[in-house]
Amino acid sequence: MSSQFQLLAQRRFLPFFLTQFLGAFNDNFYKNALVVLITFQAARFTTLSPGVLVNLAAGLFILPFFLFSATSGQLADKYEKSRLIRFTKLLEIVVMGLATVAFALESLALMLTTLFLMGTQSAIFGPVKYAILPVHLREEELVGGNALVESGTFVSILLGTIAGGLVIALPGGAGWVSAGAITIAVLGWLASRSIPSAPPADPGLKVDWNPLTETWRNIGETRENRTVFLSILGISWFWFYGAVFLSQFPGYAREVLGGNEHAVTLLLAVFSVGIGVGSLLCERLSGRHVEIGLVPFGSIGLTLFGLDLWWASPAAAAGAPLPIGALLAEPATWRVLFDLVMIGVFGGFFIVPLYALIQTRSEPHRRSRIIAGNNILNALFMVVAAGMGAGMLAAGFSIGQIFLATAVLNAAVAIYIYSLVPEFLLRFLAWLLVHSVYRLRVSGIEHIPHEGPAVLAANHVSFVDALVIMAASPRPIRFVMDHRIFRIPVLSFVFRESRAIPIAPAREDPAMMERAFDEVARALEAGELVGIFPEGRITETGEFQPFRSGIRRIVERTPVPVVPMALRGLWGSFFSRKGGPAMTKPFRRGIFNRIELVAGAPVPAADVTPEGLQGQVATLRGDWR
């Protein structure tokens, strides 16, 4: 069984998962019931048009994310998190009680007030929802945990939306919605009582209750870590992309596909299933660590299948709306559904690693405030998405053209982000290498420290050794490598953008060698990982060459632990020198060759010697070259 599903059997995760699942279900259960009610029975409450009311309802639900997210982030950092979650669930019970009164009095103003309060409750829950995961889950469990949360959230949104629309249409539907909402809120509170304690991250924090100044400060804090901030922008962009598509589903189902109201549910269902599948696949594809190489993969899929959705969209429908059966009898419908599923799958690849990255790269004492800043920007991007969709429709664009524009924008945004933070693209190239050319098995990777400096020392078998280690490591690595390898076309881009450190032998270029050792010292003093190949050159026989004394010089100047690593199975591959120059005999061993990376326990700096380190690496490698 995959570890992510094993989490569902553990108290440190299951109660939280049920709490957030029921909360997302209730939000959409009540919200969609209200939307259906005011769409079809608006005349009972007001002279305003249903379209105006629906947009007003959407705005009231999202407004609290602007007003209260910053304050909520402070509360989540200052107070014990499981207690705060229980408070939000009690608040949900109170709000659902108010909804019951609103339905009983048939008061539209009170119904909309309730919707605003639901948004407030969700805004309070948002920061603690993601900040509590790193407290209870290990680093290698974060991707799986986030995957379950994301897939569960989208499934609960789908189920809540469907249930809300169906229940409100029943005789006495308002009463049934009220009873259901209160019941679900109580169940969520009961589940929250079993969430383990999560100590406050910053108990001495002085809360600023001014939402405007704190929101501005909150957004500023997200910008302090460049990678985290651009990850937040990536998540917000995904919600922009998703909001554009989701908001067009009703019109697309009726005007393009020619379906009835059930067709809207079908589109939402396949999109949600895709998100769930993509999210759950992340753990397997990432090797159980935060693999941001999946993010570019996800953005490529979002663009390609967004373009194909535009291409596959039929001409505008005419005539009476078709039932689901007749709609599914059309071949064009199946291509549209496939595109939506794949957009969801690649959306899961895109968003899950970004959430995990924010959780691992944010400073623990203000993680909740960083996530609150993310929620604020998410809400802003969703509002802009709604405005863009409405503006393009008003300007005469078709829904298919809106999808086309969004897919093209996605490509432009992706290129921009990856140009600012090459780490995403580098990890993607490394991930692509070990999933398209090789089948990589990793063991002992937990010996790489989660934070702080260390030297990673491995045997040197091929021209892609650094990429293989980079793909397996949960943290970025700065490799020290021969200046000739550093300048190899194509690979030079990867090495340069990963801030590799070129080095030359003292007899060839003593100045370059000294600069390299100075840069290694600066990197280690900054808390980074440095990767070296102590043999100094790629083997031509498959056997070890003597480890050079440079490793001793490094740890004498900057005493840090050294993690021995052994590459196995790369000898004889296309990138090795077996039987002649490397990269001259394509498919020498076919494709999907099995390779391994084995890491050993860190060696204290005082115990490091070239001979001893070589012996440890040789033991890790064994007989398989």
Output the DSSP codes for 290-314: --TTHHHHHHHHHHHHHHHHHHHPP
Q: Are 56 and 125 in contact (CB under 8 A)?
A: no
Q: Which of 135-149, 354-368, 510-524, 584-598 is the least confident region?
A: 584-598
What is the residue whose two structure tokens read 């083997």?
539
The per-residue pLDDT for range 107-120, each reduced to its tens digit, is: 888 988 998 999 89
pLDDT at 48: 61
pLDDT at 309: 93
Q: Are 606 and 559 in contact (CB under 8 A)?
A: yes
CA 426, 432, 434, 438 torsion-angle sign = negative
User: Could you tell me the pLDDT band of residue 521, with boundaries at 50, 70 and 90?
Assistant: very high
Q: Are 495 and 486 in contact (CB under 8 A)?
A: yes
The C-alpha atoms of residue 266 and residue 259 are separated, in whole angstroms, by 10
The per-residue pLDDT for range 9-48, each reduced to its tens digit, is: 889 999 999 999 999 999 989 988 887 787 666 556 665 6
pLDDT greater than 60 at residue 51: no
The C-alpha atoms of residue 112 and residue 491 are separated, in whole angstroms, by 58
- Percent of the chain residues topping a pLDDT of 90: 32
Q: Topology of domain 432-621, per CATH?
A: Glycerol-3-phosphate (1)-acyltransferase (3.40.1130)
Q: Would you call 102 exposed, middle or buried from its count of C-beta atoms within 10 A (0-12, 13-18, 19+)?
A: buried
Taking only Cα atoms into account, the Rg of the chain, rounded to an integer number of angstroms, comes to 27
Beta-bridged to residue 194, according to DSSP, are none
pLDDT at 437: 77
Q: Which of 326-335, 452-461, 484-493, 525-534 is the least confident region?
A: 484-493
pLDDT greater than 70 at residue 317: no
pLDDT greater than 90 at residue 306: yes
Q: Are 262 and 324 in contact (CB under 8 A)?
A: yes
pLDDT greater than 70 at residue 433: yes
Q: Give the pTM.
A: 0.77
Mean pLDDT of 476-501: 80
The C-alpha atoms of residue 246 and residue 226 are separated, in whole angstroms, by 30
pLDDT greater than 80 at residue 586: no
Mean pLDDT, the chain, as a whole number? 86
- Percent of the chain residues topping a pLDDT of 70: 94
pLDDT at 1: 42
pLDDT greater than 90 at residue 575: no
Domain residue extents for the chain? 3-420, 432-621
Q: Which of 341-350, 483-492, 567-576, 582-591 is the least confident region?
A: 582-591
Non-local (6+) Cβ contacts of 538 within 8 A are: 460, 461, 462, 463, 465, 485, 576, 577, 582
pLDDT at 591: 66
pLDDT greater than 70 at residue 536: yes
The C-alpha atoms of residue 560 and residue 531 are separated, in whole angstroms, by 13
Question: 454-458 and 438-443: which strand pairing?
Answer: unpaired
pLDDT at 316: 67
Give the DSSP H or E segment for 385.
Answer: helix 367-394
Mean pLDDT of 522-531: 94
CA 269 to chain centre: 21
pLDDT at 117: 93
What is the residue whose two structure tokens read 């491995």?
458
Question: 562-568 and 593-599: which strand pairing?
Answer: antiparallel
The C-alpha atoms of residue 618 and residue 566 are separated, in whole angstroms, by 7
The C-alpha atoms of residue 55 and residue 34 are separated, in whole angstroms, by 12
pLDDT at 54: 67
Maximum mean pLDDT: which of 428-442, 508-522, 570-584: 508-522
Report which of residues 41 and 441 the model is more confident about.
Answer: 441
Q: Which of 253-262, 358-367, 457-466, 586-595 is the least confident region?
A: 586-595
pLDDT at 430: 76
Residue 72, by phi and psi: left (phi above 0), alpha (psi -120 to 50) or beta? alpha
Q: Which of 47-56, 373-382, 602-611 is the least confident region?
A: 47-56
The per-residue pLDDT for range 144-200, each reduced to its tens digit, is: 888 888 888 888 988 998 898 888 888 888 899 999 999 999 999 999 999 999 888
CA 237, 238, 242, 245 torsion-angle sign = positive
Q: Would you call 570 exposed, middle or buried from its count of C-beta atoms within 10 A (0-12, 13-18, 19+)?
A: buried
pLDDT greater than 50 at residue 236: yes
Q: Topology of domain 3-420, per CATH?
A: Growth Hormone; Chain: A; (1.20.1250)
The C-alpha atoms of residue 544 and residue 194 are separated, in whole angstroms, by 55
The per-residue pLDDT for range 394-427, each reduced to its tens digit, is: 888 888 899 999 999 999 988 887 777 677 777 7
Q: What share of the chain is helix, strand, coil (3-state, %, to 5)?
A: 70, 5, 25
Q: Which of 186-200, 276-290, 347-361 is the least confident region?
A: 276-290
Phi, psi for 413 (deg, rounded to 5):
-65, -40
What is the SS3 assignment for 589? coil
CA neighbor of 431 nearest in space, from 462, 466, 465, 472: 472
